[in-house]
Amino acid sequence: MSMMRKTCTAAVMVSVLGVSACQTSGNGGGYGVKEQAATVGVLAGGVLGALIGGSEGRLLGAAIGAAAGGAIGYAIGASLEERKAQYASTEAFYDAQISDSRALNQQLAARNAELAAELPRLQAETDALVAAYRKNKSERAALASRKADLDGRVAALNDQVAKLESEAAVQRQVVAEAQTAGDAARSGALAAEVTTLESEIAELRGLVDGMGQQSAAIGQYL
């Protein structure tokens, strides 16, 4: 992997898969690959050090106890032609795309698992806030603060969903191109990763909807 690609890989992983880190520190809950604000700096340095330094098998797993592998890299947000231009051959591009897509799926699965585990705790906290408010034991501002926190996280996560959906669309282009070229093995391998990615995106959407429902439940008291 070239230095250029490693650098871009790290930068994109921090930005695309780490958007929600800032949204989570407000209520003490750590969502996804990045948990608290202090962790963000550690992760950013860890990703850059791991990828640029050559430890390509170690990505963000240490932050949440899940190994993930490489990253989709500079690819997210780049056109198909821009991606292909980084490789000496079409075959090398297909192989890298398969590897990067697999890594992205691993990371997204880990984030989804983290959020799925966090939602019940958030629900319990929300229920407690509402109960206290209804008994005049907490201020309306406490509910408003929790709703604002949830709304911010939902917005950030929906932005990630949109980016991931765009990535899936580009990956489908690659699959179609490989199929047209008669590269059945590579097109099949990438198609499987695209199917996995679409499944993970759907799961993330459902989890975000669950967080949004918590916000809506609070909203009826504001």
pLDDT at 196: 97
pLDDT at 76: 58
Mean pLDDT of 160-187: 92
pLDDT at 20: 41
Query: What pLDDT, in 10s, does the model give residues 137-168?
Result: 778 888 899 899 999 999 998 988 988 998 89
- Residue 100: pLDDT over 60: yes
Window from 6-15, 20-29, 53-62, 153-162 with minimum mean pLDDT? 53-62
pLDDT at 77: 60
pLDDT at 58: 32
Give the 3-state secondary structure of residue 138. coil
Query: What pLDDT, in 10s, does the model give residues 57-72?
Result: 333 333 323 323 333 4
Q: Kindly report whether the global pTM for this prediction surpasses the value 0.85.
A: no
CA distances from 211 to 31, 50, 97, 218 (A): 12, 32, 32, 11
- Residue 111: pLDDT over 80: yes
Instruction: Tell the residue number behind the tokens 């930005």, with chain if given.
Output: 15
Q: Is 182 left (phi over 0), alpha (psi -120 to 50) or beta?
A: left
The closest of 174, 147, 27 to 35, measured between CA atoms, is: 27
- Residue 32: pLDDT over 70: no
- Residue 75: pLDDT over 60: no
User: How far is Cα of residue 178 from the mean position of the Cα atoms in its chain?
Assistant: 26
DSSP 89: S
Q: How many of the other CB atoms lie within 10 Å of CB of 118?
A: 18
pLDDT at 92: 94
DSSP 33: T
- Beta-strand runs (E) in the chain: none
pLDDT at 141: 86
- Residue 86: pLDDT over 60: yes
- Residue 202: pLDDT over 90: yes
> Dmax over Cα atoms in the chain, in whole Å?
69
- What mean pLDDT is reported for the chain? 72
How far apart (Å, rounded) are the C-alpha atoms in residues 92 and 14? 25
How far apart (Å, rounded) are the C-alpha atoms in residues 163 and 157? 10
Contacts with 52 (C-beta within 8 Å, 6 or more apart), sequence order = 3, 6, 7, 10
How far apart (Å, rounded) are the C-alpha atoms in residues 24 and 181? 45
At 55, the pLDDT band (50, 70, 90 cuts) reads: very low
More confident residue, 16 or 171: 171
Give the 3-state secondary structure of residue 180. helix
Mean pLDDT of 109-116: 91
pLDDT at 222: 85
The closest of 21, 12, 109 to 67, measured between CA atoms, is: 109
The closest of 116, 156, 118 to 29, measured between CA atoms, is: 118
